[in-house]
Amino acid sequence: MSAPSPTRTPPGDRAGEHAEPAGSGGPHRPRSRPRPRAAAGRPHAAWALPGVLFFTFFAVVPMGLAFYLSFTSWDGLGDPEPVGLDNWRKLLDDDRLVQSLWLTVLLTAASWVFQTVIALLLGVWAAGRQRNRAVLSAIFFVPFLLSSTAIALLFYALLDPNFGIIQENTLGSSGGAFLAIVFVGGWQFIPFHTLLYQGGARQIPEVLYQAAAIDGAGRYRQFFSITLPQLRHTITTSTVLMVVGSLTYFETVLILTKGGPGTDTAILPYLMYEAGFKSYDFGYASAIASFLVLAATGLSLILVRLTGFGGMRSTREGM
Amino acid sequence: MESINGRSNGGRPTGGGPGEGPSEGPSGSPGGRRAFSRRWVLGAGATTLLTTGLTACGSDGDSGGGGDTLTAFVYGDDAAKIQQTAVDRFNRSGAAKSAKGRVKLERIPGAEYPAKLRTAMGSPSAPDIFFNWGGGSIRDYQEAKQVVDLTDTIGNDPALKSAFLPAVLAAGGLGGRNYGIPMRGMQPVILFYNKSVFAEHKLRPPTTWDQLQDVNAKLKKAGITPFALGGADTWTELMWLEYLVDRIGGPEVFAKIQEGDASGWGDPAVLKAAETVKELIDDGAFGSKFSSVAYTNGGAPAVFAKGKAAMHLMGSWEYSTQLGKFPSFAKNNLGWCAFPTVEGGAGDIRNVVGNPTNYWSVNTRAGNKDAAIAFLKDCASRTYARALVANGDIPATSNAAELLDSSPNPEFAKFQYGMVEKAPAFTLSWDQAVGSDVATPMLTEINKLFVGKSSPSEFVSALKELK
């Protein structure tokens, strides 16, 4: 994944990008002055070195290696043998991949709905000035501080059919296992997204609400006409993180269901793990990994583009 | 698992990439525009890349193995204490001094042992000596010429050769060559039953399938699940198929598959076994929640010990599991018997499935092979066998019979020893007998059969597709 060159931005979007901000920007915004100032004020490029090196060695290089391995056959012993496109062909033919892809999409959609609705409401609430708000917000944040593995083990014990709290065949039934994964993921990550929404909602100027109140808008009208539109960049950020997070969701599946019952919760990252660390087919596992990288990158680019987030239009136009 | 990001959203705040923050507002100049497109591409890209940074690098084997110290990887359960004692004894012994080597034991946590061993063996810090299950579990290593052929070592040492039961020694090899030395207890799969439940309902352990169905019917009438099954661990389901295929078609059916002939799955015995499994499930023989129950977290053993289920098909380690968790049940009410015959089936009731034992093998890259082999020879010693017996295990040594009186439970020990010694055939657990590339999809298909995701005939045709 070499850094795309700036010229790759389609021209159509460029016009859109700066036409509006230029209009609203105006001379009273000294910060938006172009390049010369930025170049002078920026720290030396060497400051980026630690970060760049870290990223190179722990993300770019392994990813490059995985991409290379996807064109080889390797069982973890000896040297990888080049096999051309065999793994990628297998990827296209694999029935399990189709199921896996579908499950991943389903998990992403279900997680998005579950997490966004709750996080948005909680976040907006937490942005207010009620009594005990700070204490409750801190408590809500706790799940995010726990490790995924600990959370999954905890819920695994709670869902035990003989000794747990919910003594049903939850993890042994397709629907139950899937919902359990969505729920546990939500339980863990809602606090983080709540925090995003809380921050976003805090930024909304009070005057908007005051003006709306004068115009006679009630609580719900204010929420839908002011809060939601003002939070649209936050929603995009949160959505991108959720989508990419769901695409790489793994530990919970491994611990709760091991992809089962049968293959009914074997989402892409689990399929990759199984191919690599159970079947020792590292070539095929790398093909799945590369596919995941491409899919996740593509999806987030599309999301950012569709939502106009790339343009960074201000939510305060006309204020 | 080391290779996986701790959190799925791990890339979160760093995702902004260059140009984060309010200092770069919207700009009208071409330069600013470029900064934007770069920002969103890089930002989105960086987030994605960080969060999808899952790649195939998982080894942190720090064994080194250089110099005179040999590293030995062992499956890190409770029984590893016996290997630790053996290592300490060896390091003090004259054999270690004359071979100028020492052994360092590394206990690898259980469930991930095979994956950990694999990544280590592919890295420069591979172990010199490693625990394995013989047969298919070492096939890839043997093909990569990473295991020392011990055939001549054993052949030239009468004491070593005669120390172990020949069938068990052979199961540690491949294609008639020896690659492993037995180093743990034998692990046949046994049908355990709850004596008090059986007594209460006037039942006798079944020896034929008809009797078993009769027992099941009576138990269900009494509201007791006939069999405990930890179906969340697919290998527990595998045991049922292993025995059923043996009892219906004889040990030859799987022997053919083990040799790499996938058409062997087409044998009518496999289909019949799968249909029998389906009948048992439909009949409620495992209860309704078995696919949520695990063995490894103690679920199935607890269901069994508490009398909610009357029988449990499990490896011989079930005894020590129960002794650890429910000692009074293990001592007073735990009964055991052979898996029943199936009417009209070809398999002998004395045939056994399971793991003959575990083995030590030596890496061809081991620096000091003489020391490694000297260490392996200690497994043939009486001291080592006694330590196994004292732990409740049955060593695969030919002198085991005379040591069994000192076992914590001589009655169970002798039953187990007799079972293996008299067995006309000992079928290695399927998932260990075939290569990992076949074992993984095979286990998935078995799980699908048990949870009703595929019918017996779909099960058979899926297995025939495995290479």
For A18, which of B33, B289, B302 is closest by C-beta distance?
A: B33
A contact test, residue of B3, B52, B364 with most A CBs within 10 A:
B52
User: pLDDT band for position B238 (50/70/90)?
Assistant: very high
User: pLDDT band for position B458 (50/70/90)?
Assistant: very high
**pLDDT(B22) > 90:** no
Give the nearest chain A residue to B443 (CA atoms): A262
* Structure tokens that stand for A303 in this block: 């999301």
In a domain, A64, yes or no: no
Give the nearest chain A residue to B289 (CA atoms): A169
Question: Is there a contact between A248 and B291 if contact means CB atoms under 8 Å apart?
Answer: no
Q: How far is B13 from chain A (nearest CA, A)?
A: 10
Q: Which amino acid is at B335?
A: G
Q: Which residues contact B40 (CB under 8 A, 6 or more apart)?
A: A304, A309, A310
**pLDDT(B63) > 50:** no
Compute the CA torsion angle B429, B431, B432, B435 (nearest 10 deg).
Answer: 140
DSSP code for B263: G
pLDDT at A316: 65
Cα B428 from Cα B421, distance rounded (Å): 15
Say which CATH superfamily domain B69-186+356-398 falls into: Periplasmic binding protein-like II (3.40.190.10)
Query: What is the average per-residue pLDDT within A12-37?
Result: 44
In a domain, A199, yes or no: yes
pLDDT greater at residue B20 or residue B203? B203
Which helix (H) or strand (E) is B70 found in, with range? strand B69-75
**Which residue bears the tokens 């070593």?**
B160
- CB contact, 8 Å: B436 with chain A? yes
pLDDT at A8: 41
Give the nearest chain B residue to A10 (CA atoms): B37
Extents of the domains making up chain B = 69-186+356-398, 189-354+429-464
Structural domain range at position A202? 94-311
pLDDT greater at residue A23 or residue A244? A244
For B292, which of A22, A161, A250 is closest by C-beta distance?
A: A161
User: pLDDT band for position B466 (50/70/90)?
Assistant: confident
Cα B391 from Cα B406, distance rounded (Å): 10
C-alpha distance from residue A288 to each of A302, B42, B444 (Å)? 21, 23, 19
Question: Is there a contact between B451 and A6 if contact means CB atoms under 8 Å apart?
Answer: no
User: pLDDT band for position A208 (50/70/90)?
Assistant: very high
**pLDDT(B321) > 60:** yes
- CB contact, 8 Å: A37 with chain B? no
User: pLDDT band for position B66 (50/70/90)?
Assistant: very low
* Structure tokens that stand for A85 in this block: 């496109």
Cα A181 from Cα A110, distance rounded (Å): 10
Cα A162 from Cα B291, distance rounded (Å): 12
**pLDDT(A40) > 50:** yes
Q: How far is B405 from chain A (nearest CA, A)?
A: 37
The region, left, alpha or beta by phi > 0 then psi within -120 to 50, assigned to residue B393 is: beta
Q: What is the DSSP string of chain A?
A: -PPPPGGGS-HHHHHHHHHHHHHHH-TT-GGG--HHHHHHHSPPGGGGHHHHHHHIIIIIHHHHHHHHHTTEE--SSS--EE-TTHHHHHHHH-HHHHHHHHHHHHHHHHHHHHHHHHHHHHHHHHTS--TTHHHHHHHHHHHHHS-HHHHHHHHHHHT-TTTSSS-SSTTTSHHHHHHHHHHHHHHHHHHHHHHHHHHHHHTS-HHHHHHHHHTT--HHHHIIIIIHHHTHHHHHHHHHHHHHHHHT--HHHHHHTTT-STTTT--HHHHHHIIIIIS--HHHHHHHHHHHHHHHHHHHHHHHHHTTGGGT--TTTT-
Give the nearest chain A residue to B118 (CA atoms): A76
Residues in A touching B120 (Cβ below 8 Å): none
Percent of chain A with pLDDT over 90: 54
With vertex at residue A148, the alpha carbon angle to CA A146 and CA A153, rounded to the nearest 5 degrees, is 95
- CB contact, 8 Å: B327 with chain A? no
User: pLDDT band for position A72 (50/70/90)?
Assistant: very high
Query: What is the average per-residue pLDDT within B146-168?
Result: 90
In a domain, A9, yes or no: no
Interface of B with A in 95-154 (CB under 8 A): 115, 118-119, 121-122, 140-141, 144, 146
For B232, which of A65, A171, A242 is closest by C-beta distance?
A: A171
Query: What is the average per-residue pLDDT within B275-281?
Result: 96
Number of domains in chain A: 1
Question: Is there a contact between A189 and B9 if contact means CB atoms under 8 Å apart?
Answer: yes
**Which residue bears the tokens 């409770």?**
B78
User: pLDDT band for position A15 (50/70/90)?
Assistant: very low
What pairs with residue B193 in β-bridges? B311, B335
pLDDT at B136: 84
Question: Residue B465 in contact with residue B445, Cβ under 8 Å?
Answer: no
Give the nearest chain B residue to A36 (CA atoms): B31
Q: Which residues contact B299 (CB under 8 A, 6 or more apart)?
A: A160, A161, A162, A163, B230, B232, B293
Residues in B touching A162 (Cβ below 8 Å): 289, 293, 299, 302-303, 308
A contact test, residue of B1, B5, B9, B34 with most A CBs within 10 A:
B9
Cα B340 from Cα A26, distance rounded (Å): 88
Topology of the domain comprising B189-354+429-464:
D-Maltodextrin-Binding Protein; domain 2 (3.40.190)
Which helix (H) or strand (E) is A152 found in, with range? helix A148-158
The dihedral sign for the CA sequence A302, A308, A311, A316: negative
Interface of B with A in 42-81 (CB under 8 A): 42, 44-58
**pLDDT(A39) > 70:** no
Secondary structure of residue B176 in the 3-state scheme: coil
* Structure tokens that stand for A98 in this block: 């189709």
CB burial readout A138-171, b (16+ within 10 A) else e? eebbebbeeebeebbbebbeebbbbebeeeebbb
Percent of chain B with pLDDT over 70: 85
In this structure, what CATH number is given to the domain that contains residue A237? Answer: 1.10.3720.10
Interface of A with B in 5-34 (CB under 8 A): 6, 8-9, 13-14, 17-18, 20-22, 24-25, 29, 31-34
In a domain, A26, yes or no: no
Cα B173 from Cα A227, distance rounded (Å): 70
